[in-house]
Structure 1
Amino acid sequence: MTRYSRIVILTGAGISAESGVDTFRAKDGIWSKIDYRDVATPQGFARDPDRVHEFYNERRRGLVSVSPNAAHAALARLEREFAGNVLLVTQNIDDLHERAGSSRLIHMHGELVRALCANCGQRHDWPGDMDVGHSCPACHSAGYLRPDVVWFGEMPYKMERISAAIALCDLFVSIGTSGNVYPAAGFVEEARIAGAHTVELNLEPSEGRSHFAEAQYGRATEIVPAFVEKLLG
């Protein structure tokens, strides 16, 4: 395999699905059962914060019963052993990459186990339940805490840093993504323009398959460790 020096890896729901994390956009996913406008928009939170908090409390509790899988572990190994630069960008709000050992990581859609104060803007680790009665540890105001996740209509986090890394990378890998959620779906084009080799690793072809120079399909727990092994070999 060609030697690379700067790798950017994008991960989506497909990498955590094999750990038992519910997906949002699959045919039988969360958004097929719940209207996202009620629980994943600023307007929904303003209408019924109790319902929104309970929705995310359920997701947060669910993390206790799942563990990182072989694909998460392989990417953590790549970060440890690769001689060049590796940046992992995830659309997932779970903490499985961290628990597998990844540290050079951007959660572009936020993190389920963190809270954001809408009053002072401070973020806090928050592994347990959250409700309207909780006060911000920084400004001590009650009623302003919300899950630190990017809702529909909001801008994903750290886009400038992501774009800068893609502009410099020589390998871009997309793992377990649907290819229909922007701006992440446009990253492969940015990478191509920058001259990077582009690879899709997915259970099946994504909507953006035609934009990738190379593709491998199968279970993430099988194809991701094999791909990392080739990169390190």
Structure 2
Amino acid sequence: MSYVEDLFSLAGRTAVVTGGSSGIGRGIATALARAGAAVVLVARGRPALEDTARELTGLGCRVAVVVGDLSTRVGAQQAADDAAAPFGEPDVVVSSAGINLRPPMASIDADVWDATMAVNLEAPFWFGQRFGPGMAERGYGRLIHVSSQQAHRAFVTSGVYGVSKGGLESLARSQAEAWSAHGVTANTLVPGFVLTPLNQRLQDDPVRVAALADRTLVGRNGVPADFAGAAVFLAGAASGYVTGQSIHVDGGFSVH
């Protein structure tokens, strides 16, 4: 194996990606699979899962799907258990599943709060509880969370969504504190504005989309493939001394 392969190859590794059938999650799952990992995709909708699995299988990748409901504690815990069945206990867990409910602050009710926290924050916590200790026992693990600019700044009606993502970055730091001494890193990727189904509401406003692109330093909004390199880095051996970090993959959005 070459030096570069030693650093970045995921051959022999197993990864679980929630939200792996669309958007950033699909982009990350594709990258991990093409880097050599056996990948389990977790999402609610079977058709999108099977479509992604067919694409990856066609590229020669090893992939399995789990239909899971992350909106309840029982559902998240069951999905985590199910995700370990196809290829065994994972080395890498990516929490990308999210919901984007953003009513005005004064209109947020208990249902919106509970639904957002369940998927965006509690499910990553339960996946970490299910897999983190085993990773620590084996001496290798990577927990990767997909956060948001709203964890750091308020704009485009952050509401409870921003709160959930701020909590997610704190969760990564707590996981890093708990398990990094045992070879398990925990980090978050912080996107800018990415053209995905989750952001369809904003994409319907071309003026707003153009303004968001202008706010970057590279002059465009993100696409799921932009997260491939960072995800492979965080999943592999090269990132063993990187933990508890929030890594912005945003075209310079956060510094402009």
TMscore range, shorter length = 0.3 to 0.5
Larger of the two Rg values belongs to structure: 1
Instruction: Determine which structure has the larger strand proportion and give its number.
Output: 1
**TM-score under structure 2 length normalisation:** 0.40
Please state which structure has a larger fraction of its residues in helix. Answer: 2
State the structure with bigger RCO (CA 8 A, min sep 6), 1 or 2. 1
TM-score, normalised on structure 1?
A: 0.43
